[in-house]
Structure 1
């Protein structure tokens, strides 16, 4: 900058030293003030939007005793976010009933905090009698339970844009044969609708593990035995905890795979569809309990089991949120992995070890969880400040709560 042909520094040098000193002090004061104001604004911003863990608030006319297994979905740029979850209520000898419920929340700049009751989806449980292959002899009494739902928005399937998957199984009153009955009569159920609040289709039994799982007459209800997709699935007798995501024409479904007699998943597999769920292909294994030692960290109990895993999406990137367990707790928190290739189920590798790279470790929301623990998580870009939504057992109680954490799957907390 020049004034009368002279630049500003030359003019300042011609001033008396007292004026030069005042000018320097003034400039320094202005600079320090600007830095201080920026620091204050940043501090206020951080305090205002720091991640906060708190229970998700539901407004229901018949409040369930427990809520768990959240799944979140929303239309792009929509004004409503939707949550599917498992609701626990008491029932006589069979313990808690397990049913799928839906809730909706308004999308706001502060997150999605107030979840209101919505009509029941097309998947429901009921008290029933289990029939032998002759279709008449009663072999067990109990109830059909429906749990671990996954809600996904598929914009390319007209009239079936909203899809709901869940694990359905028979829970016998008699505990002696309960595990065997669950594994023989456990299926992945499915329903679809043009909108989450109406017109859900009649329930379908989409997948079972193999022939005679379940036996006749229930086998006639199953649309596909998954062992037909790959020889690698021959040892699986039951699939549970479906988790669906839709991206670029691919509908992907993660499933917890159980071997006979085992009460915890052996691995988490991925199947994919390129025609909105009309046909399916086996993509691979996302997580295997034999490789859990690669995720151990110094000072932490070693991981020994898989509790469950869900597919998430943040800003176009797909993630796997894995709830892993220790000897003391079935679910001891959540590990976040990036899925580099959805079609093949390939997780991003750690460049140093070659094992799947852990992007984030998320502890259980509240200290003092019971022996079951928790860690199954959900997320939607519609509610970034709500962050990961995670369910956890309430102390020694058999019931669960769902918490919002304010923590995103990866990257920094939202601004």
Structure 2
């Protein structure tokens, strides 16, 4: 369930302009490689555009044309259902599929939405190329929680914010070269506070890590993988890396929508959305060379300039392999039939070079290889793909407002990646 387009409740903290990229640096909290590069082993990255806009801006300042959209019409496309899935009143959303080509089985994480203040991550498995999925585990649970905040907080004058801790927008990966077999399946979520009155405190959170030996579990909470500076120590304390300690990410007031990819050689990439203002989100790439024990800054995947052709916001990175290459899915914002700005499709990009950027044209503009969209300006996104899930194709989240209360749903596109 992706809320950032509806309520950027972080406005009092917003400020500062975008800083351009540079060499990798120490992220704090145990992050490695102060002043070093992330390495050339490869990483996924990306940038995005809007299914309803002219394209992406680059160094030339203009917008590239987008290819015609492939439709994912919820009135025609089959809904992705999960056998044995426990009830979730408002539905399921935000799938992340991990199913390597030729693998005997794959797994998927997704958000189960009971209420705004009750969102958790579930795990399902498939052994038929994604034709069917079966629930096997809850990776985490939403629960009442308290975090300390600075004195004088406008949200929590008492110095303590109370509410529910939720876990959503997950990314699931299999890391076969991790020497610790108990954590070869890795899950990343944006875990944050929902305050009374369904106030979404995205900044009072962090990118959390969970691990398991197999998709059914047992799933273990490892704590914050990536944190940032906020008015609460909860956002940074104990984090493997503190993103705002990277010069290139010092203006991020919250990170969200993690997208992970494991490359040969044990390289673990993590794309994140950096919220730096009330209408500004860009995608940054972090990289680990030691299975998540430390993180380096690897590159800016989508700058504010790139995003300017897409209402200034593009998010929901999903990194995947297909056709012997790595790719990025990203979702732009735009007007929807609901009368609000929401997710408006999914864009596919090829990754170039060492994987820290997408393929760009001669003017430095990101090249969109494919667009997924729904008719009638429907709310659609984010999307996920995995080469081994050939019976499913891309899977897309869509908000079906005309069918409450189960408004959050996932649909199979039947479109073969990339």
Question: What band does the TM-score fall into relative to the shorter chain?
Answer: 0.7 to 0.9
Counterpart for residue 57 of structure 1: 81
Question: Alignment length, in residue pairs?
Answer: 327
Residues in 2 aligned to 1:77 and 1:209: alpha-carbon distance in whole angstroms:
38
1:272 is the counterpart of 2:278:
no
Residues in 1 aligned to 2:163 and 2:327: alpha-carbon distance in whole angstroms:
37
User: Are 1:145 and 1:170, in contact at CA under 8 Å, matched by a contact in 2?
Assistant: yes
Q: CA deviation at 1:117?
A: 1.2
Residues in 2 aligned to 1:304 and 1:56: alpha-carbon distance in whole angstroms:
31
1:387 is the counterpart of 2:408:
no
1:362 is the counterpart of 2:372:
yes
Q: 1:312 to 1:389 in 2, by over 3 A?
A: same
The Cα offsets for residues 313-333 of structure 1, whole Å up to 9 and x where unpaired, read as 113311111111224432111
Q: 1:330 to 1:319 in 2, by over 3 A?
A: same
Residue 291 of structure 1 is aligned with which of 301, 306, 309?
Answer: 306
Q: CA deviation at 1:66?
A: 1.2
Counterpart for residue 162 of structure 1: 185
Local SS of the residue matching 2:248? helix
The equivalences for 1:13-412 within 5 A come to 53-60=77-84, 62-64=86-88, 65-74=90-99, 77-90=102-115, 95-107=116-128, 111-121=129-139, 123-132=140-149, 139-158=160-179, 159=181, 160-174=183-197, 178=199, 181-183=201-203, 185-210=204-229, 213=230, 215-216=232-233, 219-228=236-245, 230-249=246-265, 250-259=267-276, 262=278, 265-292=280-307, 303-328=311-336, 329-343=341-355, 345-351=356-362, 353-364=363-374, 367=376, 369=378, 373-396=379-402, 397=404, 399-410=407-418
Residues in 2 aligned to 1:404 and 1:384: alpha-carbon distance in whole angstroms:
11
Local SS of the residue matching 1:241? strand
Q: CA deviation at 1:168?
A: 0.3
Residues in 2 aligned to 1:55 and 1:368: alpha-carbon distance in whole angstroms:
19
Q: 1:404 to 1:367 in 2, by over 3 A?
A: farther
The Cα offsets for residues 316-357 of structure 1, whole Å up to 9 and x where unpaired, read as 3111111112244321111111111345x1211124x43111
Residues in 2 aligned to 1:147 and 1:112: alpha-carbon distance in whole angstroms:
22
Local SS of the residue matching 1:189? strand
**Please, what TM-score do these two structures have when normalized by structure 2?**
0.72
Q: CA deviation at 1:265?
A: 4.8
Residues in 2 aligned to 1:347 and 1:217: alpha-carbon distance in whole angstroms:
33
**Please, what TM-score do these two structures have when normalized by structure 1?**
0.72
The Cα offsets for residues 297-326 of structure 1, whole Å up to 9 and x where unpaired, read as xxxxx6543242221211331111111122
Q: CA deviation at 1:163?
A: 0.6
Superposed CA RMSD in Å reads 2.4
User: Mind listing any 5+ residue stretches in structure 2 that lack a counterpart?
Assistant: 1-75, 152-157
Runs of 4+ in 1 over 4 A off after TM superposition: none
Residues in 2 aligned to 1:238 and 1:218: alpha-carbon distance in whole angstroms:
9
Q: CA deviation at 1:218?
A: 6.5
Deviates more, 1:318-327 or 1:390-399: 390-399
Which structure has the greater CA radius of gyration? 1
Residues in 1 aligned to 2:85 and 2:349: alpha-carbon distance in whole angstroms:
38
